[in-house]
A and B are shown apart, each in its own frame.
Chain A
């Protein structure tokens, strides 16, 4: 589903944020991206939805080399990728339902149909009773669930999450992580960047560790579970 070959990314003036990254993520996988601050986790995710372009190398998504995609093609790539950030990026003056519907508005889905899909999605994240509330009146965890609903309402093949629980307390963190696992179980490929060690241990999924722009380890879910078990 996602393949990177010899990816380099250098921001002007800085040492390379990523160098010679090679990795492959299968359809339906759940992957943690971890490593210290500044390791290049966010940069790697940004390359996947073309918020940044790689300096060198190839990125295949669904078999297509997106490193060469023209700017006019970017919107169509993004319609197939849901993105979730640490800061929620909800529109404060639109209702929860309108915020989620945003993704469908862009696709030209008529309001009548869109409302139905939005309500179904809100139900999935447990917020159907908050559809007509404005986001500032929601808790952090609820806001993040709205963001996830917005990212998923269009049924994208891939969900990218950059520190999705970074602003949340431990209980809400688990709530969000459980939701992401549920999304993955339903078939969406999920990539989560986090430096929260406890998450890696609790969920025991494939974990790719970055340090100073290179991959230092890549263990699959079974290895991760084993390591956690022996440590515990």
Chain B
């Protein structure tokens, strides 16, 4: 009973503190909101890229072109050796099959193919690369290895696309990490500064509390709750902003997606997990700020 009464007092006191100096606290809340909004955007972008990589990655295929001296038997042997080495699926494609495919893909223009005096296409081995080997480095190594084989004229894979995507996602990860660290430090500094002001504004109250027998923890608790409330408010504002932004940007991004990898995906910044994450990070940042402020400025 006494504990609940104290808890009620702490919350009352914290809310009173927020209402007491709305301007100062709104600075802290908007800083937190901007930081969390940015982080949420970065997270959304990262997930979009990951999605893109997965879709493209699913089609990572290495085509190894063979010269005419390679017999179908050797071609098949090569394919099965490759399949065994990489754990992927490899098939030998004869020149005839390649031509059939080409004319199928060309559709209306298929007649031109039929008119060719002889089949210009080489035989090839097509390797569907398993996920563990899909990084740009490993693909490059695989290509080099294949090229070194006798009878191989060329090796082709979507190197440019894969490499660019991986580079972007790596850059985003590093940049995002650094930005996140900066944001964490900045928001903790700002929330702790606002709470320092709050502590200063209530120094008389603190003095009286101590005079009538308040423990250290009793004096500190409302400020910790104030920080927590700041964090949660900042988180809530960020979630609303993210939701609004993704309502606005979502259709555009979906169009882009449809263009790149086909329709059927929809992109949003705010799902259940994002909501929980943003609120939790906000709460943690607010609490950190108030711990710093209470530790440094509240000598009881």
Contact = CB atoms under 8 A, between A and B. Distances in A.
A100 to B, nearest CB: 10
Given A105-B9, A108-B3, A76 B205 contact: no
Nearest to B20: A93
Interface stretch (B63-71, B99-107, B209-217, B269-277): B209-217
A78 B213 contact: yes
A76 B213 contact: yes
A103 B204 CA distance: 14
Interface string A86-105: 00010100000000001101
A89 B5 contact: no
A102 B6 contact: no
A92 B8 CA distance: 22
A108 B214 CA distance: 10
A109 interface: yes
Given A91-B204, A91-B208, A111-B8, A79 B213 contact: yes
B96 interface: no
Given A91-B205, A111-B8, A106 B2 contact: no
Nearest to A49: B211
B212 A154 contact: yes
A154 B9 CA distance: 17
A150 B212 contact: yes
Interface residues of B, number: 21
A165 to B, nearest CB: 19
Contacts of B5: 108-111
A180 interface: no
Interface residues of A, number: 22
A107 interface: yes
B116 interface: no
A89 B204 contact: yes
Contact of A108 (B6, B205, B208): B6
A109 B2 contact: yes
A198 interface: no
B84 interface: no
B2 A107 contact: yes
Interface string B1-36: 111111011000000000000000000000000000
Contacts of A89: 204, 207-208, 211
Contacts of A91: 204-205, 208
Given A76-B213, A91-B205, 9 more contacts: A72-B215, A75-B214, A83-B212, A89-B207, A91-B208, A108-B6, A109-B2, A111-B8, A151-B212
27 contacts: A72-B215, A72-B216, A75-B213, A76-B213, A78-B212, A79-B213, A89-B204, A89-B207, A89-B208, A89-B211, A91-B204, A91-B205, A91-B208, A102-B208, A102-B209, A103-B212, A105-B9, A106-B213, A106-B214, A107-B213, A108-B5, A109-B5, A110-B1, A110-B5, A110-B8, A151-B212, A154-B212
Interface of B: 1-6, 8-9, 204-205, 207-216, 218
